Structure formats: structure tokens, C-alpha cells
Amino acid sequence: MTSEQPTVLVVDFGAQYAQLIARRVREARVYSEIVPHTEPAEAMLARRPAALILSGGPASVYAPGAPSLDPGLLDSDVPVFGICYGFQAMALVLGGRVEHTGESEYGAAQLRVAEGESTLFHGLPREQQVWMSHGDRVVVPPEGFRVTASTSGSPVAAFEHQRARLAGVQFHPEVLHSEHGQAVLEHFLYEIAGISPTWTTSGVIDEQVEAIRAQVGDRRVLAGLSGGVDSAVAAALVQRAVGDRLTCVFVDHGLLRKGEAEQVERDFVAATGVDLKVVEAAERFLVALAGVSDPESKRKIIGREFIRVFEQAAREVVAEAGARGDGVDFLVQGTLYPDVVESGGGAGTANIKSHHNVGGLPDDLSFTLIEPLRALFKDEVRAVGAELGLPAEIVWRQPFPGPGLGIRIVGEVTRERLEVLREADAIAREELSRAGLDRQIWQCPVVLLADVRSVGVAGDGRSYGHPVVLRPVSSEDAMTADWSRLPYDVLARISTRITNEVAAVNRVVLDVTSKPPGTIEWE
């Protein structure tokens, strides 16, 4: 993002919700980034943040080695908002008292807003449900702070210091279980920190186009397309910047869902006019996977073959460009902000990330990376894709694993089993779309239990077919997920159609496991 854009830094004290806080700030139309609590205060303040938000965390402020809060952050004239652990650390540094009482608050709690003036809670109900997760609690606020809310377990559940522009809450305003949490957060951003809600994804396109042109100059760029939204939007954004100096490579490994290869080859090209090189490699992958049932072995084989196919395609593109007197110096990667955070900052290395199917390129195919989406979350990427004019089928494509259907077949991957799964999956997606549910769930993997046979009835005789599993899940970031409560009539239509139209399947079952303990994918 540009230096002119007001930025809120979310200081991460090990919170499982740090990314969610950053998302909520952006939903308030204020740009935000996450920084580790170990980053020196001087480095944070050198970024000239418009405000700081101190996240929660699993530690006790009194525990040996607990994350510490540099007092310099609170003496800097930068507005600060503490949440949970960040709230307690803030109170402790400023001279308040935090106690470990042995009485914890976890889950829903009733918050009572104090009488009198409050910027955080003005216009909100005097009693509201909030979400708690703490063992310690603030019992005495720092001098000059006004207690503005409490719960039965937290006498100081919120405090404010208007003149110093400091505030905090014991609960988690970023989670949906806190009824008015977003309003509380926005009151801090707009009224205490004085930030105007001006950030949108619409400015990302112009900003990135300008940056890409400055980086690339008159040289050529290579991009790998997977069929997913991240790689498609990244490539479309670069193509907007450099035009026909971008070449995209699409490796069709034969493990995509029904119609997805055609989406890339037809719809993406029609929308962007991009130069696309398609590599048909389905037979190669089937041969490599023959006789293999172990999930991890399948993943490694698919990744290995993808590297080999992509590197050969990349060499051909480089050779063709060289014959014309051009050089291919840049590689587009669809890295998103969660990838950057989870990799500890995302220093740019010339490796295609594993979730893009490739573990790395050989030394003689080294490129400088272009990562135009590295500041964005998935929903923001979709918004950029829509503005770039990409088809809705690509922009709203549900997350799909790099190894594709290869890890949604429990057992050996064969041509016949892939066709069975493609048909069952296509029916499920079609019915979810018809019911208007495909954008309300995170994704709905369909899994073929290829090594399992169950007895059924077909006409007047018995059948021995395969079961398929429906795995509808709801999630914001895939780190945790819950199974989606789909309407029974939709489930019934999916089951009836699959068992009627896909001859090899005679049973449809529903996976109702959350994550954790289960993963989203079966393999």
C-alpha cells in the first residue's frame, strides 16, 4: 500500500484472531497490517501508523516469558486500542492492576455498559452479549482512565482515556459472537483515532498497475494459472499493466473438476485477451499415480510432476522470448496476505508456493517475483477480480486444493474414478448454485470412497456401488471451520440426483465434523 494510505497496525501477541482483527478493520474501510509483538517499537512507529491495536493472546501477563508491551508505544501519541491480552498488558504498563483470580471467563458473557459518557459504546445497548476468553482480569484501571463496561467476571471490561486517545476491552469485538463488536471497533477507529473510512479495494488496481509497470519496464513476465481465483486475479492484474508482454502457462493435470479447464482456456482468455500456453498433461499424471493409494504419496507425486511439467513449459516460453530478442525476468505469484503473515513476513523468494502446486523451480529458471495480491485477503481479491471484469465463475470459485481431485479420491486415482467423482461433484455444485447457497458456504468438497463398496438396490436387484461424502463447510480463513447446515431438501436433491445419474454411486453421506478435530479435506 502507498505511504499516503492511513494504516492501522495490529500488534500480534499470539492471538488466534489476529488476522480476523485485521479483516474487521478493513471491513471498516481502514487499511490494516499485522506485525509481531517482537518487532521493536521504533520500527512500528517508523511506519507512522494511524493507530495501533493490541491483539489478544494465550499467555498470562504474569507468566515467565510472556509477551511484553513496550511502554514507548503508549507514549507515542498514536491512538491505541487493547483487546483481551493486549488490554491487560496495556493496563499493567500504565499502572493499573491485573490479577489472576482463578476464575476464568470463556464464551458468551453479558456486558453492562456504565452510565455516563463513552465513545466506545455510545448509541449501543446498555446490555449486550460479548465473547470472552481470559483467565486474568483487570481489577483497577490506570490513573486517568474511565471504566466504561463490566461483566460478572470482569469488573473492568472496558476503559477509555479520551485525551490520551487510549482505550481497550477485555472481550473480543472482532468475533461475530460479540453482538456489537464491529460498532465498538469502528467507534475507536473513527472517533478516538480520528481515521476516515476511505480505504477500498478499488484503489488497489491503479496502485498495482503503476507499481508493476515501474518494476517490469519493457521486459516480459510469466504466470502460472491453476484455475483458482488467486492466480487468475494476479495474472489479470499484471496483464492490465503489461499487456501482451505477459505469457500465462496452464498445466491441465487432469485432476480438475468438470468444466474448470474450459473456464481457464475459454473464459479467462476471453475476459483478458491474455497469451495462454496450455500443457495437456493428464495422461502423464495418471501414469505417475497408477497403483498409489497413500494420500501423502499422491500429494508428493502430483507436486513433483507439476514442477517438471511447469519447468519445461517455462523453458519453452523463455526460449521463444529469447528467439525474439526478449527476456523473461519475472514470475507472477498469487500470494495473499494470510500467506505472508503465516510465513513470517513473506520475504520474496523465487519459489512458487506449495499451495500453487509447485514447491520450487530449478536454479536455471530463476525469476524475480511479482506478487500484486500480497496485501489482500481472499474476499478483497474477489472484489478486485470482479472490477477487472473476470467471469463470476472464476471470481467466486470455491477454494480447491492444488492436488485437485487426486486427494478427494480415497484410494487409487484412475481415469474411471475421476469421471465418477467429476459427475457427482458437478451435481452437488449445480444444486448448491440453484439454491443460492454456493456463496454462503466456504466450500463443499465431494469425496469418493473408491476402496469402499456398499450394498444397494437398483431396480429389482442388488447393487454394490461406491459411497460419496458431502463435506459442506463454513469458514472465514480455513484455519477453523464448521460444517454447514444445508437445508434438508437441498441435501435430498443432491443425493437423489447423484444416485440416479452416477451409476457407480449408490450411497451419499454427510460429513458433520468441525475443524478441529477434522480437516476440510479427507486426504
Q: Please, which residues have CB within 8 angstroms of residue 406's CB and are 6 or more apart in sequence?
A: 255, 285, 289, 298, 299, 302, 413
- β partners of residue 330: 221, 368
Question: What residue type is assigned to position 372 of the chain?
Answer: P
Active site residues: 84, 172, 174
**Integer angstrom CA distances of residue 6 from 133, 209, 383:** 30, 20, 21
What is the DSSP annotation of 7-45?
EEEEEESS-TTHHHHHHHHHHTT-EEEEEETTS-HHHHH
SS3 444: coil
DSSP string, 106-161: EEEEEEEEPSS--TTTTTS-SEEEEEEEEEEEEEEPPTTPEEEEE-SS-S-SEEEE
Using the structure block, give the residue that is written with the C-alpha cell 477480480.
Answer: 385
Q: Report helix, strand or coil for 166.
A: strand
Q: Which string of DSSP letters, residue by residue, matches 421-437? A: HHHHHHHHHHHHHHTT-
Residue 238 to residue 387: CA distance in whole angstroms? 14
228 Cβ neighbours under 8 A, 6+ residues apart = 334, 397, 399, 400
Copy the grid coordinates of residue 277. Answer: 500456453
Q: Is the peptide bond before 517 cis (omega within 30 degrees of 0)?
A: yes
Dihedral, 112, 118, 123, 128 alpha carbons, nearest 10: -20
Angle at 460 between CA 457 and CA 466, to 5 degrees: 25
What the block records as the C-alpha cell of 32 is 490494516
Please state, in angstroms and rounded to a whole number, the distance separating the CA atoms of residues 297 and 299: 5
